[in-house]
Amino acid sequence: MMKQFLTINDLPDLNQAVNQGLELKKDPYKFESVGTHKTLGMLFFNPSLRTRLSTQKAAQHLGVKTMVMNFSNEAWALEFEDGTEMSGLRSEHIREAAAVVSQYCDVVAIRAFASLSDKEKDEQELVLKSFIKYASIPVINMESATAHPLQALADAITIKEFNTKKRPKIVLTWAPHPKALPHAVGNSFSRMVQLLDADFVIAQPKGYELNPEITGNTPCVYDQKEALEGADFVYAKNWCSYSQYGKILRTDKEWMLTQEKMKLTQQAKFMHCLPIRRNIVATDEVLNSPNALVIQQANNRTFAAQVVLKTILENG
Amino acid sequence: MMKQFLTINDLPDLNQAVNQGLELKKDPYKFESVGTHKTLGMLFFNPSLRTRLSTQKAAQHLGVKTMVMNFSNEAWALEFEDGTEMSGLRSEHIREAAAVVSQYCDVVAIRAFASLSDKEKDEQELVLKSFIKYASIPVINMESATAHPLQALADAITIKEFNTKKRPKIVLTWAPHPKALPHAVGNSFSRMVQLLDADFVIAQPKGYELNPEITGNTPCVYDQKEALEGADFVYAKNWCSYSQYGKILRTDKEWMLTQEKMKLTQQAKFMHCLPIRRNIVATDEVLNSPNALVIQQANNRTFAAQVVLKTILENG
Amino acid sequence: MMKQFLTINDLPDLNQAVNQGLELKKDPYKFESVGTHKTLGMLFFNPSLRTRLSTQKAAQHLGVKTMVMNFSNEAWALEFEDGTEMSGLRSEHIREAAAVVSQYCDVVAIRAFASLSDKEKDEQELVLKSFIKYASIPVINMESATAHPLQALADAITIKEFNTKKRPKIVLTWAPHPKALPHAVGNSFSRMVQLLDADFVIAQPKGYELNPEITGNTPCVYDQKEALEGADFVYAKNWCSYSQYGKILRTDKEWMLTQEKMKLTQQAKFMHCLPIRRNIVATDEVLNSPNALVIQQANNRTFAAQVVLKTILENG
């Protein structure tokens, strides 16, 4: 019984989910009657392209109706704190909003990014956890402060599609970016690969180590080139500092992914969740190479969402 | 024949509509073929959560397709005055906009709040009335300057569901709020209760009396506690001054609904249209009590919209 | 095989398309199964009322699902230049965005207006052409920098419906407007009428001549009244200067369309793409006259979009 999908660990079995995703990809409309008379609410507190469209497409495949809302400009500003006097700008409390949405929808999916200013609140996952607390329907995470599990499941499906080794070497490497970005994708990818039979290494500059509670026993090295050696999959992603929460510690290009660096690998596949800044995170050459899987990853977002939605609806 | 739903008085028979709503609630998809090849246009000039989602859900229940537009940021600014030289910021006249939308939709639903700055214009219901004038299809009010009849119908359904008396005492009480709010909900609730067999009292501070043309013979008292005594239903709602149009006359908490005040009632059910400011309009204790019906009211919005849409489509 | 609809000249045969539009208008849902399991992505970089609703309606008629996105506030800012270091405000490159959208949709329709500041870039049709370059699905122009072919096809359908002559006189006349407007509608109407058997004249003040590569052999005169004499159809439209690109050269009302000027015609039908500024572009009297076809043109937008979408889907 999956009543929420907050992190990749909410899946009862990652391998089974990956196989389901690959089956659905072969025949996307096979379960079109699963969603008859079901409605998915999609609530956005932040921008979205892939997540918005792929989740809608997944719902269409399953015959589920969608209702999309951009909270930032279409609805009321929400209050998440309990017990406050609501005399400020926030007109509606999450208690009511979540309970109300629960009556119009069968499942609700929510996107609410990290603030990157208040580590404690971000780690409490205030928005997502409040919806779970006060909603009476299952909640799907479409990227929260600390996790992006639909992306991680799509990444797992993509790795399964392209992997040729019994135990591939998978590298998650930090890469440069002009803006402070959240840790959600890095976190979820780390959690996911830890569930695979893989040789997993994370490379990042000093000060950019991810939350050690999430990376666990995964080796976290400071030498990108050493990490890339012999890699089968290279996942590039920027995130801001976790220890100096929200800070950008360096702006140089030393960690940008180049074809020269990719030569250190075993003709590794290059992965990124998108959107990606070209010639900042990775060069045009890397992204235009046949080894880049970024478009396939985006395609698999549909089937990842479809697995999650189908599992939830069949449980219900 | 219902060709427009501007106020609750446009319903041919309130009791019948309430009963239809309760029937639809038992079997929401019973009339799913009523809306085949029909399209509802939903035009928003203001934010919306419940109205947006419940009206879409009602349409889904009836098999009606919806097209949602946020006029404020997705379309052209509209001119509502006749005969003007349109040399300013408004690119499109309501004459064209309404006639054009009439060709893409079978029914149009519109949300356009009061300005609260120009009483005369607000009372003319310029936006809604202009759409009615120039559209060739039925128009549904999703909250206009002076009325919110979908809310009032949902409230009537909720009262019917929870009422145990032959002639219940129903109290509409003004409550505090930091912002100047419209009279639409108070007006429509007043009009609706006047159609019920009920002992109806409105309580408000001096200067906050609603439009006497709408409250009619309903006793309007200045003593909230006196009004609450023996009540079966307490409907709390803020509105700004009507006589000193758009003004906030007091900011104290004396009129906030508390559990202590609710003890004066006959274990009254507590109602509010939402969104509600907790610990300003009513305390957490009141809202978290099993006597609070606010979530049920929001649920009944779907069936209120469904009754209205079904009645209009069947007439067509 | 129509894989893109960028200008009216992408239609294999205008007359056939017009006839198809008129057939679809008689029985809009006749081909409702054409779109089963097909999805149209609609991407807006600019406001839209008619285009948004009529294209959605066309999709509904064909059983095609739509996914609508407002790029300006719902997604990431896009980079269209190749080879740049993406260190600025633009988070995603069109290469990825177009390839990704191609996986969620079967057809994509795009609205991206002219900048009116950079003639060269506008004429390159950077946004539309970049989508075509990097997308793997057909692209429909919902108004680009230099063309609005869905409007032109709807105009052709409307002319066919109302024409009573073997060879009608059709006049496209520039009209005043307080803002600098693009040439897209003027261009597409000119291209379209050149494909008809008609006596076609364009009238505009000095300095407002359209791109001569588009107007070709069409007489372009400076005397509006001379042009209007004997006209059967008068299409009014403002555009900014093409030679002094983006400039407004005059703000007087001499070129406004009035009933008096319309008396010079053969009881001509009055056409405009909407939105129209009343008493600036044309007087109330002209727009309220039974000879005004502006609402019928808007209605035919649905069938124009339906012809284009159906042709593309049947080719696929």
Residues of C in contact with B69 (CB under 8 A): 49, 52-53
pLDDT of residue A120: 94
Any chain A CB within 8 A of the CB of B298? yes
Domains along chain C with CATH numbers:
4-147+301-315 (3.40.50.1370), 151-297 (3.40.50.1370)
Q: Is the ipTM of this complex over 0.90?
A: yes
Write out the H or E segment, with its range, that includes residue C226.
helix C224-228
Average pLDDT of adjacent 10-residue blocks, chain C of 316 residues: 92 97 98 97 95 98 97 86 92 96 98 95 95 97 98 98 98 97 98 98 98 98 98 98 98 97 98 97 98 98 98 87
3-state secondary structure of C40: strand
Instruction: Find tokens 């219901």 and name the residue.
Output: B125
The DSSP letter of residue B80 is -
Instruction: Measure Cα distances from B170 to A231, B197, B200, B232 in Å.
Output: 72, 10, 5, 6
Minimal C-alpha gap between B291 and chain C (Å): 40
A300 contacts A21 by C-beta, under 8 angstroms: yes
Within 8 A of A66 by CB-CB distance, chain B residues are none
Helical segments of C174-217, H only? 184-193, 212-215
Q: Which residue has the tokens 């009014």?
A: C236
The pLDDT, as a whole number, for residue C307 is 98
- Is C48 in Cβ contact with B75 (below 8 Å)? yes
Chain C positions in Cβ-Cβ contact with residue A56 (cut-off 8 Å):
67, 104
Decide if B290 touches C, using CB distance below 8 A: no
Q: Which amino acid is at C212?
A: P
Residue numbers in B near A101 (CB within 8 A):
49, 53
C78 to chain A: nearest residue by CA?
A: A275
CB contact under 8 A, C103 and A274: no
Question: What per-residue confidence (pLDDT) applies to A316?
Answer: 60
B63 CB within 8 Å of a chain C CB = no
What parts of chain B have a pLDDT lower than 70?
316
Q: Which residues of C touch A62 (CB under 8 A)?
A: none
The Cα-based distances of B192 to B10, B139, B183, B217, C265 in angstroms read 11, 20, 14, 13, 56
Shortest Cα–Cα distance, B44 to chain C (Å): 13
Confirm or reject contact between A290 and chain B (CB < 8 A).
no
Q: Does C103 touch chain A (CB under 8 A)?
A: yes
> What are the φ/ψ torsions at residue C29 (nearest 5 degrees)?
-95, 10
| B99 to C50: CB separation less than 8 angstroms, yes or no | no
C276/B76 CB distance under 8 A: no
Q: Where are the alpha helices (DSSP H) in chain B?
A: 14-26, 50-61, 71-74, 94-104, 119-124, 126-134, 149-162, 184-193, 212-215, 224-228, 259-262, 284-288, 294-315
Q: Cβ separation of B294 and A96 shorter than 8 Å?
A: yes
Q: Is the separation of the CB atoms in C76 and A47 below 8 Å?
A: yes
- Under an 8 A CB cutoff, do B83 and C279 touch? yes
Q: What is the DSSP letter of B55?
A: H
One-character DSSP codes across B94-133:
HHHHHHHHHHH-SEEEEE----SS-HHHHHHTHHHHHHHH
| DSSP codes of every residue in B146-191 | S--HHHHHHHHHHHHHH--SSS-EEEEEE---SS---SHHHHHHHH
C278 vs B: CB within 8 A = yes
CB-based contact (8 Å) between B92 and chain C?
yes
pLDDT digits (tens, 9 = 90+) for B24-69: 999 999 999 999 999 999 999 999 999 999 999 999 999 999 999 9
- CB-based contact C69:C42 (threshold 8 Å): yes
Burial class (CB within 10 angstroms; exposed 0-12, middle 13-18, buried 19+) of C118: middle
Q: Which residues of chain A have pLDDT under 70?
A: 316
Return the partners of chain A (3 or more C-beta pairs < 8 Å): B, C
What separation in angstroms does the CA of A184 have from each of A71, A114, A149, A190?
21, 8, 9, 10
Q: How many helices (H) and strands (E) does chain C have?
A: 13, 12
Interface test with B, best of C31, C295, C296, C302 (most B CBs within 10 A): C295
Q: Which of B44, B60, B279 sits opposite A86 (nearest CB)?
A: B279
Q: Which residues of B touch A84 (CB under 8 A)?
A: 278-279
A39 touches chain B (CB under 8 A): yes
The answer to whether the CB atoms of B57 and A67 lie below 8 A apart is: yes
Residue C9 one-letter amino acid: N
Give CA–CA dist A128/A141, Å, rounded: 7
Write the residue in A73, A88, A96 that is nearest to B274 by C-beta.
Answer: A96
Cβ-based contacts of B47 with chain A (< 8 Å): 73-76
Cβ of residue C81 closer than 8 Å to a chain A Cβ? no
Q: Which residues of C touch B135 (CB under 8 A)?
A: none
Q: How many CA atoms lie within 13 A of C101 on its CB side?
A: 31
In angstroms, rounded to a whole number, what is the distance separating the alpha carbons of residues A61 and B130? 41
Count how many pairs of residues, chain A against chain B, have C-beta atoms within 8 Å: 85
A49: contact with C, CB 8 A cutoff: yes
Q: Does C67 touch chain B (CB under 8 A)?
A: no
From the list B37, B69, B86, which residue is nearest C279 (CB)?
B86
According to the model, what pLDDT value does residue B316 have? 60
Nearest to B103 among C44, C277, C299 (CB): C299
Instruction: Report the gap between the CA of C61 and the closest CA in chain A (Å).
Output: 17
Q: Residues near B83 by Cβ (< 8 Å), separated by ≥ 6?
A: C279, C284
Chain C residue with the nearest C-alpha to that of B87:
C178
* Interface A:C, Cβ pairs < 8 A: 85
Q: How many residues does chain C have?
A: 316
Chains B–C, number of C-beta pairs less than 8 Å apart: 85
Global pTM exceeds 0.90: yes
Shortest Cα–Cα distance, A182 to chain B (Å)? 28
- Which residues lie closer than 8 Å to B221 by C-beta, 6 or more apart? B201, B202, B203, B227
What per-residue confidence (pLDDT) applies to C258? 98
